[in-house]
Structure 1
Amino acid sequence: MRVALIAESFLPQTNGVVHSVLRVLEHLQQRGDQAVVIAPADPAGVPMIVSGAPVITIPSLPLPIYPEVRVAGGPFAPVVAPLRDFAPDVVHLASPFLLGWRGVLAAQALDVPTVAVYQTDVPGMAARSGFRHAERLLWKRIRDIHTRATLTLAPSSASLTALGDHGIGRLRMWRRGVDSTRFRPELRDLDLRNQLAPNGERLVGFVGRLAAEKQLDDLAVLRDLPGVRLVIIGDGPERRRLATVLPEATFTGMLHGDDLARTVASLDVLVTPGESETFCQVVQEAMASGVPVVAPAAGGPLDLIDHSRTGWLYPPGELMIMRDRVRDLVGDDAKRDAFGRAARASVIDRGWRPICSELVGFYSEAVDLHAASVRRAAGD
């Protein structure tokens, strides 16, 4: 199969979209498929080849509110040429919005089927960043893209419902895998714990982008929990401000690979307060590490956390309940250990290989659906 991946975000950026695209490229290379990536250019440098796939960059501009994020809007013609040259069987649109809009139009012009992977709640992010007035317009863009796509893949039941409520059809569920070999309880590091909590405090952590939509101000209700040290893993535009909101917290900055896995495994509890998560990969990574999670009962965590067994869900906005759930786990070693073991067991079989094999099945389904629509059009 020949697959063109049009990625709204790509290396050197680090986020959930990039992570899943990289896993897909690895899988396609292992299968012997041919792939190409079309992604925004970045002055920090984009690799020319990833997992055997050439990377074609499209001129981009910094996003005004997050300058480190590059966006590639404009007419779709510059995307048509590389797609025509590659002649894909299917186009994979990774979290499409600006470049993805150009991609779906280019694929239509070339009569190529598309699989659009919904991964970022752009309207929700905008609303939580103070741009609620733009929410309806942003949903219109999402609708325009996904109604043109041959198939739309959503990562969670909440996302399926949201997309369906906005009139988007041909929906399928496609979750994300987790590397339970990299993320594992055995990486718990006592020296690191002593460094982060010299007085033996329990470590309550967050992992992710430090941005408004992550609602990290909510963690302030944990500041005065006795015997608790907050650890904030990640970086982003809110870091400087958050350092004043959470002055007792330890900010590690961005961590990758084994350093990230070791730090996650060394936590006692992970808290993800954001209510706009379409999936929330860090929940799976914490669970694979044997760390129970506390999250709002919204979005992706609803599917991932088995309430009262692998972690706790709390009603969105009910921060005192979130605080009580964290206090419950940090104050009960036996319960926390039991939750952690159950969490690990619940994700141990969610590897990327079967997840990506399922994706290839969706590629084939999109090809068949497109062929059938062409036949119907010819019959008409």
Structure 2
Amino acid sequence: MDVTDLRIALFSGNYNYVRDGANQALNRLVGYLLKQGAKVRIYSPTVAEPALPPMGDVIGIPAVAIPGRSEYRFPLMIPPAVKRDIARFAPNIFHVASPDILGHRAITFARKNDQPVIASVHTRFETYPRYYGLAFLEPTALAILRRFYRRCDAIFAPSESMAQLLREQRMNYDVGIWTRGIDREIFHPSRRDLEWRRAHGIADGVPVIGFVGRLVMEKGLDVFSDTIDHLARRGVAHKVLVVGDGPARDWFEKRLPSAIFAGFQAGPDLGRAVASMDMLFNPSVTETFGNVTLEAMAAGLPVVAAIATGSQSLVSDGVSGRLIRPGAIEAFTDALAHYCEDEGARRAAGDAGCEASLRYGWDAVNQALVDGYLRIVRQRAAGGHRPAPSPVP
């Protein structure tokens, strides 16, 4: 069996209607699979004006907007017509990308038809309640996630640090790695543009602290802004550049009135914005990989990040940046002050990060998951391990 024998049914609660790292990774994966001769069919909620053109054929799933976060949709079910479509497609492996109702129903459908199923892990959903005053729900969220992932034949994490966490959480006994790649045509130190900086009111000698990502509270916007306050009180010269958009933008703009908000950027424009920063500050603990961290490293920036899944596998503390205990405002401030005040340290850390980013090529990254698909299909065909019928919560 080889890649041309694969027939993959991919289920995602959000394949392309919001642009984020997870969706871009899934679309790149599908593009790679199709190029290699595999058959792929995607099942996901759809919208009239998606954030990015989809790779592959997408079959719409009924969904409703999530209250308070209307940019996201909540899939409701797999209707009979879609079940018939899946049966006609006759997949030999199911891939679920989100632990929602659609994902649960897809696993049930796969198991009913005795087909293997894998899950890719894209974010730490169990950490989200703490950002909305609901931290007491985290144990319940972990139990729900454990039940979901243990119904799969295998799960794939985007970093070794995340894979280790999943093992410790007993999410599954077969945890593989499907990491993320970098497009070095877009993210490269040569993309730095002083004229672009000047057009945004940034003087040439002022160090720029960057934030890149969706503007949502779970990205650590509170920690970011508190740290910037401490830096200002110390009198450290700097400018904050925020690249991205989202429902918390209004809050963030009011919290950091002196920051420059460049809005959403993509493709070469994003590469230029990132390379035109002097360091990236990423205090989030919700990422399982940290695409923006890798992009900043490829652009030659030092990264100051929380000690968290993803960042731990990318940033070498004291070499390509600093890893700081989550929420440790003073320590974050110390690290940023160091890079703001020492241009040589910035350059050395940026060079080290750029060198480390060379290991992440998209074709090699996606081939690793293809190899995982083939391994699971062969194991099942040979009568190998099947998930337990009643996972322990």
* TM-score, reference length from structure 1: 0.93
147, 160, 178: which one aligns with 2:150: 147
Q: Is the 8 A contact 1:174 1:355 kept in 2?
A: yes
* Separation in 2, partners of 1:303, 1:193: 31
Q: Is the 8 A contact 1:188 1:266 kept in 2?
A: yes
Match of 2:58 in 1: 55
Identical counterparts, % of pairs:
30
Match of 1:354 in 2: 364
- Residue 136, structure 1, aligned to residue 139, structure 2: yes
- Residue 181, structure 1, aligned to residue 181, structure 2: no
Match of 1:163 in 2: 166
Alpha-carbon deviations, 1:106-135, whole Å to 9, x = none? Answer: 211222111100111111012222222322
Instruction: Please show how residues 239-250 of structure 1 align to structure 2 within 5 Å.
Output: 239-250=249-260
Match of 2:10 in 1: 5
* Separation in 1, partners of 2:110, 2:175: 19
* Separation in 2, partners of 1:79, 1:227: 57
Q: Is the 8 A contact 2:61 2:78 kept in 1?
A: no
Match of 1:231 in 2: 241
* Separation in 2, partners of 1:39, 1:140: 25
* Separation in 1, partners of 2:79, 2:168: 28
SS at match of 1:71: strand
Match of 2:101 in 1: 98
225, 228, 233: which one aligns with 1:222: 228
Match of 1:23 in 2: 28
Moved more, 127-136 or 116-125: 127-136
Instruction: Please show how residues 33-52 of structure 1 align to structure 2 within 5 Å.
Output: 33-45=38-50, 50-51=54-55
Match of 2:390 in 1: none
* Separation in 2, partners of 1:315, 1:356: 31
Using the TM superposition, give the Cα deviation of residue 20 of structure 1 relative to its aligned residue in structure 2, in angstroms: 0.7
* Separation in 2, partners of 1:104, 1:195: 51
RMSD, aligned CA: 2.0
- Residue 318, structure 1, aligned to residue 328, structure 2: yes
* Separation in 2, partners of 1:60, 1:263: 35
* TM-score, reference length from structure 2: 0.90
Moved more, 150-159 or 185-194: 150-159
Match of 2:391 in 1: none
278, 285, 289: which one aligns with 1:275: 285
* Separation in 1, partners of 2:279, 2:201: 14
* Separation in 2, partners of 1:199, 1:28: 45
Q: 1:325 to 1:370 in 2, by over 3 A?
A: same
346, 352, 357: which one aligns with 1:336: 346
Using the TM superposition, give the Cα deviation of residue 85 of structure 1 relative to its aligned residue in structure 2, in angstroms: 1.7
Alpha-carbon deviations, 1:12-57, whole Å to 9, x = none? Answer: 211121011111011112112111111112243588x844x21101
SS at match of 1:258: helix
203, 206, 211: which one aligns with 1:206: 211
SS at match of 2:69: coil
Q: 1:321 to 1:24 in 2, by over 3 A?
A: same
* Separation in 2, partners of 1:96, 1:109: 18
* Separation in 1, partners of 2:284, 2:386: 45
* Separation in 1, partners of 2:269, 2:203: 23
SS at match of 1:85: helix
* Separation in 2, partners of 1:342, 1:195: 29
Q: Is the 8 A contact 1:42 1:70 kept in 2?
A: no
Q: 1:89 to 1:213 in 2, by over 3 A?
A: same
Q: 1:65 to 1:132 in 2, by over 3 A?
A: farther
Alpha-carbon deviations, 1:339-367, whole Å to 9, x = none? Answer: 11111110113110001111100001110
Paired letter, 2:63: S
Q: Unaligned 5+ residue runs, structure 1?
A: none
